[in-house]
Amino acid sequence: MHLAYSLRPYGHHALAASQSDIEETATSFEALTRQAAQAEEAGFDLVVIDDVATGPSDAELSNDLAAFEPTTLIAALATKVEQIGFIGSASTMDHAPYNLARRFASLDNSSGGRVGWNVVAASVDQERDVEYVGLVKSLWDSWEEDAFIYDKKAARFFVPEKMHVLNHEGANFSVRGPLNVNRSPQGRPIISAVLSPGSVDIAARFADVVFVRETSVASAHAVANEFSERLGHYGRGRNDVRIFQSVIAYLGNTTEAARAYHYSLNQGSVGDTPAEAVVGTASEVADRISSLMDGLTFDGVEFLQPVVPEKDFLLFDFAAALRDRLGPANVTQGTLREFLGLKRPDFPATQQEEIR
């Protein structure tokens, strides 16, 4: 059973910034580090950082948004919070494929293999995005596992035969390669996607991890099942992926406190939330989630805080209760791939065309 923590300065509720007891320094690097460190201590496998400010906007940055770009934030956080994994969003329309492959491969090396790319497939042309993600993945296979030998005596830094030139010529991109970053410590960085009817196909081709952020249980199951079935089209199996159900949980020390917390934000209505909402004590919420997921196709829970508190004691209880209902963590240290119990990808020597 896997636990993901979605990181936002004040929380995921639309009123989070005005309701939070933390000061405006919530958007600072120190405050975000504190959140990530609490998630690590509570036993979460990974932190998810969405991108909320990708392009020029016609309004100034709103006060409740972090000003940090996700990949630079992850590079910094990984030096301070040293066990947990980090998945960051980047759009297929923002970076050339070579630059994006390079940024994430580099992050994976600097973090010791704890990083994933959450694909934001932003092109109107799905064929282009499919080519893009496939290209990034192939660039990550530029170097074999044991390419670097550092033989000082023989003046041999790497084995030339273990460097692979891609020579990709596609409908949208032409990229020679190889990537000028070492092979990732976890083989390849993790690829993730937020599942929606539009993203099911590209996710089934490439994603190691998917997040289901549907607001109703029925639609969540529908899209997760469709994704699971589609895997077979691409020669992949259910055990090659990890599916996370996203949950916005209103936690309280008592049932009454949790209900009051929910009421203060939503005035009794369900509210406009980005995921399935549950209310109660850590134990009640864990029971509710476990019955939602009973017999179904999920491997983990992505937790969205409605409002981030200054010191999050309930996070520990919540993670412990979920582990109790749904099963323990895979391992407690290693690469993100190891946390998730995913197989290390073999070097696809047969897929590589060597032209020099």
Partner 1 sequence: MNRDGKMRLGAFLMAGGHHISAWRHPDAVAQAGVDIRHFIELAQTAERGLFDMVFVEDAAAIREKNPEMASQAARSTAFEPLSLLSAIAVNTSHVGLVATASTTYNDPYVLARTFSSIDLLSNGRAGWNLVTSASELEAANFGGSGLRPHAERYERAEEFADAALALWASAAGGHDTASSVSIHGKHFDVDGFLQSRRSPQGRPLMVQAGASDTGKNLAARTADVVFAASQTLDQARQYYLDVKGRLSKFGREADALKIMPGISPIIGSTEAEAQAKYRELQELIPDAVGVALLASYLNAADLSSYPIDGPLPEMERNEGMQSRQQLIVDHGLRENLSIRDLSRHFAGARGHWQVVGTPSQVADAMEERFLAGGADGFNVMPPLFPSGLEDFVTQVVPELQKRGLFRASYEGDTLKGNLGIL
Nearer Cβ to partner 1 (6/142): 142
DSSP SS3 for 348: coil
Q: Which is nearer to partner 1, 73 or 319 (CB)?
A: 73
| Between 168 and 242, CB nearer to partner 1 | 168
Closer residue to partner 1, CB minimum distance, 155 or 270: 155
CA distances for 32 relative to 28, 47, 61, 174, angstroms: 6, 11, 18, 38
In the complex with partner 1, the residue whose CB is nearer, 185 or 280, is 185
Name the residue type at position 315. L
- What is the C-alpha end-to-end distance of the chain, expressed in Å? 45
Minimum Å gap between C-beta 180 and partner 1 is: 5
Nearer to partner 1, 217 or 349 (CB): 349
DSSP 3-state of 34: helix
Rounded CA gap, 229 and 45, in Å? 26
CB of 36 to partner 1, least distance (A): 12
Contacts of 204 (CB under 8 A, 6+ apart): 227, 230, 231, 233, 234, 236
- Note the residues at the interface with partner 1 (CB under 8 A): 29, 52-61, 65, 67-69, 71-76, 78-80, 94-96, 98-99, 102-103, 105-107, 109-111, 143, 148, 150, 152, 155-161, 163, 169, 173-182, 356
Taking each helix axis from N to C terminus, what angle separates 70-80 and 29-42, rounded to the nearest 10 degrees?
60
Sign of the torsion formed by the C-alpha atoms of 140, 142, 143 and 145: positive
* Cα 250 from chain centroid (whole Å): 22
Q: How far is the CB of 13 from partner 1 (least distance, A)?
A: 21
Q: How far is the CB of 28 from partner 1 (least distance, A)?
A: 9
Q: How far apart are CA 223 and CA 341, in angstroms?
A: 23
As measured in angstroms, the least distance from the Cβ of 190 to partner 1 is 16
Min dist. Cβ of residue 7 to partner 1 (A) = 15
